[in-house]
Structure 1
Amino acid sequence: MTSVLRNTEPQEEKARMSQSPDFTTSSNFKAKTATTSAPPMEHAPPTKNTLELPAEEELIMEEQSLYGLDEELEKTLEAIYRDEPKDDCLTSRPSWANKAEYLLAQVGYSVGLSTIWRFPYLCLHNGGGSFIIIYMFMLALVGVPLLVMEIALGQRLHQGSIGVWKNMTPWCSGVGYSSFMVCFVVGLYYSVLMAWSLYYLVQSFQSPLPWAMCPFLNNSSSFGEKGDPECSRTASTTYFWYRHVLRTTDEIELGGLPAMHLCISLLVTWLIICISLVRGLKSTGKMLYVSVLLPYIIFVCVLIRSLMLKGADFGIRSLLAAQVPALYSVDVWRRTGNHLFLSMGSGFGCFTAISSYIPRSNNCIMDASAVALLNLLISVTATVFVFATMGYLATVNSEKCYVKNAERVMNLVTAGVLPPELRLPESLFRHMSYTYPRWFGNLPEPVRVVAQPYLSNCDLSEQLKEVMEGPGVAFVAFTEIIAVFAGSTFWAIIVFLFLVATGLSTMQGIMQGIITPLLDTFAVTRRHSTLLTVGVCTSMSLGSFFFVQPAGSYYVNLLDDYWASLPLFVILIVENVSMAWIYGARRFHADLIIILGRPISSVYRWLWSLVSPLLLLVLFVIILIHLYLRPITYMAWNSSISNEVLQSYPPWGKALLGLLTSLTVLPIPVCAAYILLHKMPPPPAGAMQHPDTDFFKGDAKEENQKTRLRLSPGQIKRKTSKFR
């Protein structure tokens, strides 16, 4: 019995790959079951009771007739199920060594540098706790359902993004190509973020740290005599970032040769990525234990250290203080949705590629929920760390500001500019952050009005915003806080090792989204997978050199802040509509029940059908309106004042965004038009509403019915009716 089924698998797999997705037939399976079951009995005409069954019972009978689940067939399937392996994966396809490696790959890809780079910044400038509430709301309604969809498709069809959508809904097969192209472009500039982290890591093996003080000018022997005047007007950490690491220009339109130290760092970065991928899942899986687990061990140590800093409580209170008006702000919802999909990684096809190497009966819903919750947990924890450290820096800066104000007041009182009532008592200089605000607040109103124009605003909240300004907080603020740690060299190595490992795990996921579709689409690449990996890494490393030129960081901001979300929303909308309204959300929901062998809440069906596509469409329209009505800006370095300034991108910036977006989403209409004109007639009316097939092709049909038996024969009807 077992041998017959196994011998039919190659023919059915070949037929599956060559035919259009009509999955109602499974001739080999029917022939097999016919030899072991009793001859089919003629069905009696429907009785009155059958005709009066409620709609739910009719649906159950329809499903039972679809799968042929009569008593004799169930007995036959039970016998087959005992003899056959539980997970009938494609023997020619590699797989993860264990479930731990698979989960590490999913979590490592999902939790990237943007979690450290962007989430805390958005949290501060978009309502603090309100931003987190909106993020959790959108994660539950859209993030998790779409994640379940991508993981389920990958593990069931054992294909990358291109192959999955070719088999799922050929009309939307261009989605896979678009995901591939977006992955390629994002991989180009994301590797540069990892190269920056790697360069900081190398520079950390020095004492004192190079960003702890301003550099000397030529022929200067002591600090302060001939220090760089540009650095003296700003923080040494900010100067090190812009002028030493990036060697940036004052405008995006100014060119220049790439910095040699960044070129070397970028080459080493791509060498590390290539080594981790060159042996396929064997090397990638083992590397994940280092690139995913090590950062979190380091992160816990750094988090504990940050919570012990002076002023950390103020930073955390600022995080937890939810601003109610932010809940009603369309702009906050736009930024939250934009960050959600960029940070989660949905739509890139990487989740599909990673899950294509896992057994088909894997619990994809539990995995998707775990990945989403871990992403949220790490995002919030990273934000707590950043706010704690920024609270410390804000406290230090506030105290310095109060000291400067006190000195200025004393000088002005001595010069007779200010009244003698503003003369400061000696006790005021002991705890400036507490005594100065109380003393100044107790002064008479006319005296405060006279002194106010001469004083700086030293409020902690304002100082916190200044510290947190700009997405470069991952590098500028981290280096600033590390510089004041005891044993700063050790902590610098720890922190930037964490950033490098986090970037590596994300790049491994992005590369899987590129390499896996190529292996599945072109048979010749499967015979030379190592050569393919080396070739892809080499070509992408050459392309990424564009982003290490002096103005390269401005292009990174342009793509990451404005471009990446545009094709991503188009891809997610088409994926969602394709699955829910062309393939059928109800049908997909039934398929998941068969995969898992247990009932699934019908809430997912409504989320896929209505909530997710509607929310995605609204967010996409809001983003387009925002780009059209408002200028696109970036933080640039102004060497004349030694500070960051907000500048607008040139007019060609929006044109570049439109061109890249059009190119990456172009495969979607092109593939649909090609199938319409050359391969497939239009679908029959009602096919989208009343599908009678599932996406379990060929030999998979047998596995579906065997897996369905996990609900136990006789209980399928009750379980199905409960969650129909």
Structure 2
Amino acid sequence: MSSQLHIVSVISYKMTGVERDQWGSKAEFLLASAGSIVGLGNIWRFPYLCYKNGGGAFLVPYLLFVVVCGIPLFLLETMIGQFTQQGIVTCWRKICPLAQGIGYAELLILCYGTLSYLTILAWALFYLVFSFSSQLPWASCGHTWNTESCIDFTSLNQSANWTYGPNSSSAATEFWERRVLAISGGIEEVGSVRWELMLCLIACSALCYFSIWKGVKSTGKVVYFTATFPYVMLLVLLIRGLTLPGAWKGIHYYLVPDPDRLADPQVWMEAGTQIFLSYSIGSGQTIVLGSFNQHKYNSYKDCIWLCLLNSATSFVSGFAIFSVIGFMAEKQGVPINAVAESGPGLAFIAYPQAVAMMPIPHFWTFCFFFMVLLLGVDSEFVMMESIITTVTDLFPMLLHKARRRELFVLIFCLVCFPFQLTFITEGGIYVFQLIDYYACSGAGVLFMAVFECLVIGWIFGVDQFYDVIKQMTGQQPCVFFKLCWCFLTPLLSLGCFIFYLVDHRPLRFNRWYVYPDWAYALGWTLTLSCIVMVPVWGIYMICAGTGSLKQDINMQ
């Protein structure tokens, strides 16, 4: 049955006269997938979630989600793409026409992510440029943006007894909030566009554009550098971090769980969404990357190793970041959880402040932010490629030609740019956190996992899908994956969301800022805009379909 389905898929695609691009080699798929799943979610988001949720307490639910959700869903989506040889929407059209809403919902999640993710690259590039200045501007006070409450930790003696008021802030914090962001009082105060960040945004957009404008042919070559060099940087930073005084104090906080935090549903919710974000599952990216594989390519073992690489990178990056946090706590004479705020700015406050206290601070600053930039670019252009490929597969006769594709990619970047300017205004950080929390990594991706498992496990048939995998890879998957796809993964994802609703806490910025009610309403609207896409499309297909309900459910 599976071979017949593949033949139908290939014939129907070739009838359009369009030849689909494929990876030039196995290495290109591995590096592109590694670049997609190993990104800022590992280096930037994972450490600050650990920091926010009690250090080691966060690792317990995280590892559970790796086994039950991360690896099974990554394998599921890769195999869907490889089997159908289609993008996010048209792959579900071939598997179950009623389920095309999953594709449209994931496409919407990708659009939200593409808009907001580039902001992080602009921040990283901004810091990277300043790493070449004669004196690091976040290393000392006395600048025009500093306040009277600014503290220069680099000028204080380690043995001194430091006391400072509740309104005091470090030079790194003031550089981040007052110089980079020029942060306003709230999301209600949007303010003006930061022109320096706008230039960084334009540069990052151009870099991503030229990485994907030729399709897989250009993307497959770029990843040889962008997916490997960050590991060199991470290794260098890890070795340096572990040799700092006080580093093991931070490592202890990182590894030892607080049992009280394990009973907090928020910790479990954020651990689950972190898996979905860092593994690039629930948003369709993995489906697109798998769709460029040869139909007979044995990607089964590769998927397992890629997942292990992803979690190992997150784990190692935690050592790199928390060793630096421990060093800062030692230098400042404060507890670990009082070193810095746990928001998105942790990587832009804690690490710059720490390297300012090290020998050769300019070199370590360059290494860190160059690594962040490469990781971000890799993830960003994979998201963009996923969107472009999906739209191209929806309109193959219109967009399959190289020049038309290049023009479409350019138009897409130009259309996104005005929306991205919102994130680099004086109130942009509030908008960024709202989009990241509700649209990119919240309940939407959890529900996509539930819907995917229901379609594959119960409508398409898990046994038939097992036959598809065996026919493509020549290898019988572990029976544990069948149990996950049918029961464990959808139940854990749905249960996590339910517990989150029961003990829901409003999103805050830096612990002190509470969003207005209309902002929370906007956030939940963004979440629902993805979730309702699935049932709405199913109802539409039933009402507008010319065939029977059985024909709408089964593969065409």
With the length of structure 2 as denominator, give the TM-score of the two structures.
Answer: 0.90
Structure 2 residue aligned with 1:376: 311
Alpha-carbon distance, 1:467 to partner = 3.0
Deviations 1:628-678 (A, max 9, x none): xx332212xxxxxxxxx6121101012102222232334322321222122
Distance 1:206 1:501 in 2: 21
Distance 1:298 1:632 in 2: 33
Q: Does 2:397 correspond to 1:530? A: no
Q: Does 2:345 correspond to 1:472? A: yes
Alpha-carbon distance, 1:559 to partner = 1.6
Secondary structure of residue in 2 paired with 1:229: coil
Alpha-carbon distance, 1:12 to partner = 7.8
Alpha-carbon distance, 1:127 to partner = 4.1
Structure 2 residue aligned with 1:309: 244
Q: Does 2:444 correspond to 1:578? A: no
Secondary structure of residue in 2 paired with 1:253: coil
Structure 2 residue aligned with 1:129: 56
Structure 1 residue aligned with 2:378: 505
Distance 1:236 1:172 in 2: 52
Alpha-carbon distance, 1:168 to partner = 0.6
Distance 2:262 2:187 in 1: 35
Deviations 1:107-141 (A, max 9, x none): 11112212222212222343433422321121111
One-letter code aligned to 1:515: I
Secondary structure of residue in 1 paired with 2:214: coil
Alpha-carbon distance, 1:294 to partner = 1.0
Contact 2:325–2:339 (Cα < 8 Å) also in 1:
no
Alpha-carbon distance, 1:341 to partner = 1.0
Structure 1 residue aligned with 2:468: 591
Q: Does 2:430 correspond to 1:554? A: yes
Structure 2 residue aligned with 1:618: 495
Structure 1 residue aligned with 2:540: 674
Alpha-carbon distance, 1:530 to partner = 1.0
Contact 2:328–2:339 (Cα < 8 Å) also in 1:
no
Contact 2:18–2:400 (Cα < 8 Å) also in 1:
no
Q: Does 2:418 correspond to 1:542? A: yes
Q: 1:663 aligns with which of 523, 526, 529?
A: 529
Alpha-carbon distance, 1:468 to partner = 5.3
Contact 1:589–1:604 (Cα < 8 Å) also in 2:
no
Contact 1:589–1:602 (Cα < 8 Å) also in 2:
no
Distance 1:586 1:356 in 2: 21
Alpha-carbon distance, 1:319 to partner = 1.8
Secondary structure of residue in 2 paired with 1:103: helix
Q: Does 2:500 correspond to 1:633? A: no
Contact 1:148–1:368 (Cα < 8 Å) also in 2:
yes
Deviations 1:476-533 (A, max 9, x none): 0111011112111111111111110010011021112201101111120112111111
Q: Does 2:528 correspond to 1:652? A: no
Contact 2:52–2:342 (Cα < 8 Å) also in 1:
no
Q: 2:126 aligns with which of 178, 193, 199?
A: 199
Quote the sequence identity (%): 29
Contact 2:74–2:281 (Cα < 8 Å) also in 1:
yes
One-letter code aligned to 1:336: A
One-letter code aligned to 1:188: L
Distance 1:177 1:17 in 2: 24
Secondary structure of residue in 1 paired with 2:288: helix
One-letter code aligned to 1:180: L
Q: Does 2:374 correspond to 1:517? A: no
Alpha-carbon distance, 1:91 to partner = 8.4
Alpha-carbon distance, 1:231 to partner = 3.5
Deviations 1:163-218 (A, max 9, x none): 10111111111111111111011110100011100111011111211111124459
Distance 2:9 2:131 in 1: 58
One-letter code aligned to 1:512: E
One-letter code aligned to 1:195: A
Contact 1:390–1:468 (Cα < 8 Å) also in 2:
no
Seen in structure 2, the aligned counterparts of structure 1 residues 468 and 244 have a Cα distance that, compared at 3 Å, is closer
Distance 2:7 2:459 in 1: 29
Distance 2:284 2:518 in 1: 30
Q: 1:365 aligns with which of 280, 300, 305?
A: 300
Secondary structure of residue in 1 paired with 2:345: helix
Structure 2 residue aligned with 1:174: 101
Structure 2 residue aligned with 1:229: 148
Distance 2:110 2:327 in 1: 38
Distance 1:16 1:160 in 2: 12
Seen in structure 2, the aligned counterparts of structure 1 residues 395 and 156 have a Cα distance that, compared at 3 Å, is same
Secondary structure of residue in 1 paired with 2:219: helix
Distance 1:625 1:251 in 2: 27
Secondary structure of residue in 2 paired with 1:683: helix
Seen in structure 2, the aligned counterparts of structure 1 residues 115 and 10 have a Cα distance that, compared at 3 Å, is closer
Seen in structure 2, the aligned counterparts of structure 1 residues 614 and 464 have a Cα distance that, compared at 3 Å, is closer
Seen in structure 2, the aligned counterparts of structure 1 residues 12 and 498 have a Cα distance that, compared at 3 Å, is closer
Secondary structure of residue in 1 paired with 2:400: helix
Distance 1:12 1:631 in 2: 46
Structure 1 residue aligned with 2:162: none
Q: CA RMSD in A?
A: 2.4
Seen in structure 2, the aligned counterparts of structure 1 residues 306 and 237 have a Cα distance that, compared at 3 Å, is same
Q: 1:264 aligns with which of 199, 204, 212?
A: 199
Count of residue correspondences: 530
Distance 1:256 1:132 in 2: 39
Q: Point out the structure with max Rg over C-alpha.
A: 1
Seen in structure 2, the aligned counterparts of structure 1 residues 164 and 10 have a Cα distance that, compared at 3 Å, is closer
Distance 1:682 1:130 in 2: 47
Following superposition of structure 1 onto structure 2, how do residues 249-398 of structure 1 map, counting pairs within 5 Å? 249-398=184-333
Distance 2:341 2:190 in 1: 28
* Structure 1, 617-626 or 165-174: larger mean CA deviation: 617-626
Contact 1:394–1:467 (Cα < 8 Å) also in 2:
no
One-letter code aligned to 1:178: A
Deviations 1:7-35 (A, max 9, x none): xx9998455799xxxxxxxxxxxxxxxxx
One-letter code aligned to 2:428: G
Q: Does 2:23 correspond to 1:96? A: yes
Distance 2:12 2:44 in 1: 48
Gaps (5+ residues) in structure 1? 1-8, 19-89, 219-226, 399-457, 636-644, 698-724
Alpha-carbon distance, 1:237 to partner = 0.6
One-letter code aligned to 2:531: V
Following superposition of structure 1 onto structure 2, how do residues 211-250 of structure 1 map, counting pairs within 5 Å? 211-217=138-144, 228-229=147-148, 231=150, 233-250=168-185
Structure with larger RCO (C-alpha < 8 A, sep 6+)? 2
Seen in structure 2, the aligned counterparts of structure 1 residues 228 and 608 have a Cα distance that, compared at 3 Å, is closer
Gaps (5+ residues) in structure 2? 1-5, 152-167
Q: Does 2:555 correspond to 1:683? A: no
Structure 2 residue aligned with 1:440: none
Structure 2 residue aligned with 1:708: none
Deviations 1:658-705 (A, max 9, x none): 222232334322321222122232229xx99xxxx9x7x9xxxxxxxx
Deviations 1:387-433 (A, max 9, x none): 111111100111xxxxxxxxxxxxxxxxxxxxxxxxxxxxxxxxxxx
Seen in structure 2, the aligned counterparts of structure 1 residues 11 and 183 have a Cα distance that, compared at 3 Å, is closer
Alpha-carbon distance, 1:464 to partner = 4.0
One-letter code aligned to 1:542: P
